[in-house]
């Protein structure tokens, strides 16, 4: 009887996941087909290897990251913060490539905070700005530079 309950639970979760996937995909298709060619600032659902901050499932990823960070202690916590900072810098680069400067700015500023909290050298942030700073507006670039300088 217990084995039946486990199998039923696994099947129910799989069906629920499939329904969620189909609904999000359908909603995304309707949004794109019905919509204007203007930029869509709402979260999107797309299938790729990485989940960027403009993805509908990104908040779930951030909750999991926050839980891992809260449960970590000492050097492990610093290592996680550094890993999260590097990942967010990667996300900021991808968002800049997609033309989403505003979200790239907020993602990069969070990466800089993680770098600072981890105790790592902020040269990673400076290198990022040296490489990709031209993709930001003067206002965003100046804000990011002052953020680095304030740490």
Q: Please check the confidence at residue 26 and state whether its pLDDT lies above 80.
A: no
7 within some domain:
no
Q: Look up the domain containing 138 and give its range.
A: 57-150
Question: CB within 8 A of 32, min separation 6: which ones?
Answer: 40
- What are the residues facing 44 on neighbouring strands? 55
Cβ–Cβ under 8 Å, residues 53 and 32: no
Q: Please check the confidence at residue 20 and state whether its pLDDT lies above 60.
A: no
The total number of structural domains in the chain stands at 1
pLDDT for position 50 = 75
68 within some domain:
yes
Q: What's the rounded mean pLDDT across residues 9-27?
A: 62
139 within some domain:
yes
Instruction: Tell me the whole-structure pTM to 2 decimals.
Output: 0.66
Q: How far apart are CA 103 and CA 92, in angstroms?
A: 8
More confident site: 26 or 124:
124
45 within some domain:
no
93 within some domain:
yes
Best-predicted range by mean pLDDT (25-34, 54-63, 92-101): 92-101
Q: How far apart are CA 111 and CA 87, in angstroms?
A: 8
Question: Tens of pLDDT along 37-95?
Answer: 344 444 555 555 678 888 888 888 889 999 999 998 889 999 999 999 999 999 999 99
DSSP string across 47-76: --SS--TTBTTHHHHHHHHHHHHHH--HHH
Residue 44: phi, psi to the nearest 5?
-120, 160
137 within some domain:
yes
Taking Cα atoms as reference points, which of 146, 106, 110 lies closest to residue 126? 146
């Amino acid at each position: 009887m217990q084995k039946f309950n486990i199998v039923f639970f696994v099947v129910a979760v799989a069906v629920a996941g499939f329904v969620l996937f189909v609904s999000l995909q359908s909603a995304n298709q309707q949004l794109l087909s019905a919509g204007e060619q203007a930029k869509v600032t709402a979260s999107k659902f797309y299938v790729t290897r990485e989940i960027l901050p403009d993805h509908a499932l990104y908040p779930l990823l951030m909750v999991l990251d926050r839980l891992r960070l809260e449960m970590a202690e000492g050097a492990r916590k610093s290592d996680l913060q550094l890993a999260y900072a590097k990942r967010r810098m990667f996300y900021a680069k991808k968002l800049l490539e997609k033309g989403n400067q505003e979200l790239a700015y907020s993602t990069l500023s969070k990466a800089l905070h993680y770098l600072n909290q981890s105790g790592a050298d902020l040269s990673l942030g400076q290198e990022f700005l040296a490489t990709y700073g031209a993709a930001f507006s003067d206002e965003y670039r100046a804000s990011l530079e002052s953020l680095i300088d304030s740490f």
